[in-house]
Amino acid sequence: MLIFEPIMSIFKLKINFEEQGKETIELPIAGGESVLDVCLDHGIELQHNCGGVCGCSTCHVYVSKGMDNIQEISDKEEDFIDRAVRPRITSRLGCQCVIIDGDIEVTIPDQSEFLGH
């Protein structure tokens, strides 16, 4: 008897940094994974005071490409983004940037400027 496991789609996460001295990196990201999860798995500093449950604004990122490849923004997430430092129209919370289908490119703001909200 053959058992088939579902094939997990793997996409590309390109991360740019506002912080001086940090170079752009590309990492694999699986469908269903969040930007925050991948950052934490690879030792990338992205604050997450609430533990990644959409309860603060500290994992705030800017999505420059692939906005259609992540889950839609919720009202709760929008409320927290309003509290983030220097939010933009492309702002999302890393914990809520869950890949649906396709690549994504984000910029992580300088983490030394952020306080918990």
How far is Cα 11 from Cα 59, in angstroms, rounded to an integer? Answer: 21
Q: Which CATH number fits domain 10-113: 3.10.20.30, 2.40.50.180, 1.25.60.10, 3.40.640.10?
A: 3.10.20.30
Helix H or strand E segment including 26: strand 25-30
With contact defined as beta carbons under 8 Å apart, do 61 and 2 qualify?
no
With contact defined as beta carbons under 8 Å apart, do 57 and 80 qualify?
yes
Q: Tens digit of pLDDT for each residue in 55-95? A: 999 999 999 999 999 999 999 999 999 999 899 999 999 99
- Reading the block at residue 79, the tokens are 């409320």
Partner residues linked to 14 by β-bridges: 26, 105
Q: What is the pTM of this model?
A: 0.88
